[in-house]
A and B are shown apart, each in its own frame.
Chain A
Amino acid sequence: AQSVTQPDIHITVSEGASLELRCNYSYGATPYLFWYVQSPGQGLQLLLKYFSGDTLVQGIKGFEAEFKRSQSSFNLRKPSVHWSDAAEYFCAVGFYNTDKLIFGTGTRLQVFP
């Protein structure tokens, strides 16, 4: 079945540690790929997106993500996490022939000082 999977529901890291949030998709064609972040009481903010070209994309707040076609993955990374990064992170996919974004279930990131 077509799906977007974020296997980690909750991740806890120490401030300054590196971070990787996983996202896998299951679709026949390569979708457009997105990572959104949601802080408490806030809307969904776009961190970065991939449409084509360079498979390593840079986003805001020091985040990057790498598209790996062979693994159908689009993992989000940050080399050094800050306490303000604590939030919920959503991977999403889109396609050229549709308006809708399809979201994963989200990963809640907790950061310890």
Chain B
Amino acid sequence: EPEVTQTPSHQVTQMGQEVILRCVPISNHLYFYWYRQILGQKVEFLVSFYNNEISEKSEIFDDQFSVERPDGSNFTLKIRSTKLEDSAMYFCASSFRGETYNEQFFGPGTRLTVL
């Protein structure tokens, strides 16, 4: 069964460093998403991406964040200058269509630890 994959599973970085989290969505999906979950808190939407541009973003997704689909298979989340409060589990998801009644398939997550 096709699945969303994410690398790395765990990333440790120093505050102020740039990190890139990688995701490989399901191959025929067209919509891509990033969510995050700070330890002990709820899963929060960050951004959605379609047709090579951001279609929706939350207030969390500020200028420190960017997303890119650099090739036909990868979808990345970049954090330019990490802060301690960026420590969280980051989930990538993909769906064939937009709008939330279409199932979003989630990856296993990347745990980001900022020291």
Contacts and interface: CB of A to CB of B under 8 A. Distances in A.
Given A32-B100, A99-B98, A100-B45, 4 more contacts: A44-B106, A99-B56, A100-B33, A101-B43
Nearest to B100: A94
A44 B104 CA distance: 9
Interface residues of B, number: 27
B103 A99 contact: no
Given A42-B108, A100-B48, A101-B45, A51 B99 contact: no
Interface in A82-98: 90, 92, 94-98
Contacts of A42: 108
Interface of A: 4, 32, 36, 41-46, 49, 51, 90, 92, 94-106
Nearest to B4: A43
10 contacts: A43-B4, A49-B103, A51-B101, A94-B99, A99-B33, A100-B56, A101-B45, A101-B100, A104-B42, A106-B42
A94 B106 CA distance: 15
A83 to B, nearest CB: 22
B108 A103 contact: no
Contacts of B105: 43, 46
A105 B43 CA distance: 7
